[in-house]
Structure 1
Amino acid sequence: MDVSPFFALLLIALLSLLLLFFSTGRNTSPPKGDGRSSLPPSPRSFPLLGHLPLLGSLPHRKLRTLAAAHGSVMLLRLGRVPTVVASSAAAAEEAMKTRDIAFSSRPRLLMAQRLLYGGRDVAFAPYGEYWRQARRVCVLHLLGPRRISSFRRAREQEVAALVARLRHAAGGVVNLSDLLVCYSKAIISRAAFGDGNYGLDGDEGGEKLRRVLADFMELLLAAPMREIAPWLGWVDTFTGLEAKTKRTFQAIDGLLERVIADHRSRRLGGRQVPADGEVDDHRDFVDVLLDVNEMDKQTGLRLDTDSIKAIMMDMFVGGTDTSSTVLGWAMAELMNHPHEMRKLQDEVRATIGSAGHVAEDHLDGMPYLKAVISETMRLHPPAPLLVPRETTEDTELLGTRGW
């Protein structure tokens, strides 16, 4: 049974207050006279939990406030994990461009390990040969221009279905957020799994699958207590996090097993088009990954079933919430700025002319639409915090080091 985390957090807070009498938070400043170690500045922290209580429910906003007070590079302690936060363009450029190799790996996050088959995906996999080869597969075979173009029919059909739903609901209250989430998930599902009607047992309208996927994305970003303070691991059981993680993983894993098994059985009926062939086919991501597994043995990469599942979840998670979030914010901003909305409507109507509907060929003639999307992503980035990185060697960032 899932238990509200309030009681566990209250217990932790009381314990922290008791320990506060015996231990005070310290304000870390760069040590003087030591040319080898210069720690970034750090705000005062709580015992055991470090700076976690400071982050709140909107950590990206709190981190912006902390950066304004302590600098664009600061040291936080998230439980037992020391974490350097970079929050300026200069710091990001140095970490992700100038010293990219040093900052190229990923930490072994507990939830990613449990939900993504022990780090067999791309987004959370540690830097190494497997990550390089898996990333090459995604860039060349899954996200290349020809592969993206092959799903044009699916995109246009789902857009038409979304417009039809909106017209049907015209005159009443419309939950546009839900419609946009269903739209983005439908496109990614067709690209990833094909046109097959895959779902969970007893899930007629797909609502159960949507809830499971929402739980999956929520859990993937969660910070279990056993990762922050191992001796408090029992809290995860008490709050129901352990049971929810197991239940969600089993549901997703069962679905992926059925999808892969169905694709393998269909492939026995005939030879598939090679992943790097010249024929414009409509294979989905599972077909492509199964083909790559047969073709790329000379590279040393072995895409076993768990690897295919993990990469599929990367594609699904990375393409659903981000797309629907940007679309939702774009519509909200346009409704709050009616002059800009009318200007965009005029551009769309002038571009499509007598066609009566928007096709992908029309997009090149809509510069204002592209500007609206770019401004929306600037104001409301769908992922304000990047996936954490882990250093592979001793390095520095804007003159700070020793962490």
Structure 2
Amino acid sequence: MLIHLGSVPVVVVSSVEGARAVLKTHDLIFSNRPKLSIPAKLTYGAKDIGFAPYGEYWRQVKSITVVHLLSRKRVRSFRSIRERETISMIDMIGKTRGSVVDLSEMIISLTNNIICQVALGRIYGDYKKFKELLVAFQNLLGVMSVGSYIPWLSWVDWLRGLEGRTNKVAKELNEFFDGVIEEHINKNKMVNDGNEKENDLVDILLDIQRDDTTDFKFERDTIKAVISDVFSGGTDTTFSSIEWALSELIRHPKTMEKLQLEVTKIAQGRPMITEDDMVNMHYLKAVLKETLRLHTPLPILVPHESRQDVNLMGYDIPQGTQVMINVSAIARDPLLWDEPDKFKPERFLNSSIDYKGFDFELLPFGAGRRGCPGIEFTAAINELVLANIVYKYDLALPNDGRPEELDISEIVGIVVHKKSPLLVVPTSRF
């Protein structure tokens, strides 16, 4: 359908055919991003991967980030970090000795720790403040700015406090990222004095910035914008998927039992499920696919924008039209899915449908040129963490609550989260 948000024409796509036409048939034409005032302020003038306009700058930044952080080879190289942090979380759960555990807090801490180590080289101490900043950052990305669509009403954003909140979060994140970069510059100076170092993403970006042989130059703002992308995308969607998967498993005890049977059989008494085991975890993968279908992290993908006039499914779409793809509606379309509002991982056991961007029935990470490049990174964490939690522990609700009583109401930002944290009482299975 076509709607007008102020002076901006917006096409909303809610079908498989429409999504395929935008993200595959006319992918290049719809590969641009619209200029949105709030994301621009938070990403240093859209110098990141997610919101940068289509062009050579975006291609270079994406290529460098994928090669050095998000490629399959690089994701595999971070295996020891993922397994170490997962073991640490499992041990923390065990030390609670049957008391109430805030599993949401533990999972977001784990994902943050993993991303800190692979991107920044170490875990940063003031986690609580950084978490609050990330939450505020994500919430602002999901807020509709009146000024982006009706420029002469931009003062409304100021009146409702949106401008002030955005400037505050941008300033605090900028100070944090500046501190990280300065720390890495000082570390590099020490390396020149004969010490050894192990390169993380910031080191690599700084090396590229110093390289005089390349035509493409990284400004400091580009480095900070890429870091913000890695953290906001890597932490939020990963944490959300694991939290929703565990919530649905608790609400569906028979599904939990089937998954526990699978992981227990594959583990063969070993203390931990490893990443080598994942190839045989068919029901685990089905649970995660069904979670991403029923609880799509970004219900509406980041808007696309047409770079030229185009005929889309018989309709003439002018250059500059925004396109919003309602992937949540597609994922719950009764013409595509049997009992679409029910949690049924079995639907994927004999199905080739995956979430990698080639099957337009399931697009939690988008598809085409502007699809999320971090799918491998996210999937590796999701599978390992979920498998080990359900392998090691039974999870009950506090105060002998019944599974169907678990609150699954949502809070909406750019990523959809559970409104209330996942509180459980874990008991060891062995």
Deviation at 1:295, TM superposition (A): 4.7
The alpha carbon displacement at 1:170 in A equals 4.0
Q: Provide TM-score, normalisation by structure 1.
A: 0.74
Indicate the SS of the match to 2:190.
coil
1:228 corresponds in structure 2 to 149
- Quote the Cα distance in structure 1 between the aligned partners of 2:211 and 2:295: 41
- Secondary structure, aligned partner of 2:273: coil
Which of 286, 296, 299 lines up with 2:202 in the alignment?
286
Q: Report the 3-state secondary structure (helix = DSSP H, G, I; strand = E; otherwise coil) of the residue aligned with 1:269.
A: helix
Is residue 240 of structure 2 the alignment partner of residue 325 of structure 1? yes
Q: Which amino acid in 2 is paired with 1:263?
A: H
Instruction: From 261, 279, 282, give the equivalent of 1:364.
Output: 279
| Structure 2 segments unaligned to the other structure (5+ residues) | 319-430
Determine whether 1:145 maps to 2:61.
Answer: no
Is 1:191 matched up with 2:118?
Answer: yes
Partners in 2 of 1:140 and 1:359 — Cα distance? 25
1:168 aligns with 2:95: yes
SS for the counterpart of 2:304 is coil
Q: Does 1:253 align with 2:180?
A: no
Identify the match of residue 288 of structure 2 among 364, 373, 376.
373
Q: Distance in 2 between matches of 1:351 and 1:188?
A: 28
Question: Does the 8 Å contact 1:116/1:313 carry over to 2?
Answer: yes
Residue deviations 1:283-312, cap 9 Å, x none? 3211122233345843x2111110011011
Contact 1:150 1:282 in 2 (8 A): no
Partner of 1:125: 52
Alignment pair present for 1:96 and 2:15: no
Q: Which amino acid aligns with 1:243?
A: G
Query: Could you say what secondary structure the match of 2:191 adopts?
Result: coil
Q: Which has the higher contact order (CA 8 A, sep 6+)?
A: 2
CA distance in 2, matches of 1:196, 1:381: 29
Tell me how far 1:93 sits from its aligned partner: 1.0
CA pair 152-143 structure 1, distance change in 2 beyond 3 A = same
**Cα distance in 2, alignment partners of residues 180 and 167 from structure 1:** 15
2:374 aligns to what? none
For residues 95-146 of structure 1, give each alpha carbon's deviation from its aligned partner in whole angstroms, at most 9, with x where no partner exists.
1111111111111111111010011111101111111111211222221223
Give 1:164 shift: 2.0
Deviation per CA, 1:22-62, whole angstroms, max 9, x where unpaired?
xxxxxxxxxxxxxxxxxxxxxxxxxxxxxxxxxxxxxxxxx
Identity of aligned residues (%): 39
The aligned amino acid for 1:237 is: W
Aligned to 1:102, the other structure's residue is in SS state: coil
Contact 2:113 2:123 (C-alpha < 8 Å) held by counterparts:
no
Aligned equivalents of 1:384, 1:237: Cα separation in 2: 27
- Structure 1 residue aligned with 2:86: 159
> Following superposition of structure 1 onto structure 2, how do residues 63-142 of structure 1 map, counting pairs within 5 Å?
74-142=1-69
Correspondence 1:211 to 2:127 = no
Check whether the contact 2:116–2:124 (CA below 8 A) recurs between aligned residues.
Answer: no
Shift of 1:282: 5.0
1:394 is matched with which residue? 309
TM-score (norm: length of structure 2): 0.70
1:265 pairs with 2:180: no
Distance 1:122 1:296, change over 3 A: farther
The answer to whether residue 236 in structure 2 is matched with residue 315 in structure 1 is: no
Query: Structure 1: which 5+ runs fail to align?
Result: 1-73, 200-205, 273-280
Partner amino acid, structure 2, of 1:397: L
Q: Does residue 239 of structure 1 match 2:155?
A: no
Cα distance in 2, alignment partners of residues 354 and 263 from structure 1: 43
Residues 329 and 380 of structure 1 are in contact (CA less than 8 Å); yes or no, is this contact kept in structure 2?
yes
One-letter identity of the residue aligned with 2:158:
T
TM-superposition CA deviations, 1:169-202 (whole Å, max 9, x none): 3422222222222222221122211115354xxx
Distance 1:146 1:307 in 2: 24
Compared CA separation, residues 286 and 136, structure 1 to 2 (3 A):
same
SS at match of 1:270: helix
Q: Contact 2:208–2:217 at 8 Å: present in 1 too?
A: no
* Residue aligned with 1:118, SS: coil
Query: How far has the Cα of 1:333 moved from its partner?
Result: 1.4
After superposition, the C-alpha distances for 1:329-373 in whole angstroms (9 at most, x for unaligned) are 111111122112112112212222232112222222322111111
**240 and 366 in structure 1: CA distance in 2 versus 1, 3 angstrom threshold:** same
- Pairwise CA RMSD of aligned residues? 1.9
- Residue 35 of structure 2 contacts residue 148 of structure 2 at CA under 8 Å; is this kept in 1? no
Residue 259 of structure 1: how far off its partner (Å):
0.5
Instruction: Note if contact 2:48-2:222 (Cα within 8 Å) is conserved in structure 1.
Output: yes
* Aligned amino acid, residue 288 of structure 1: I
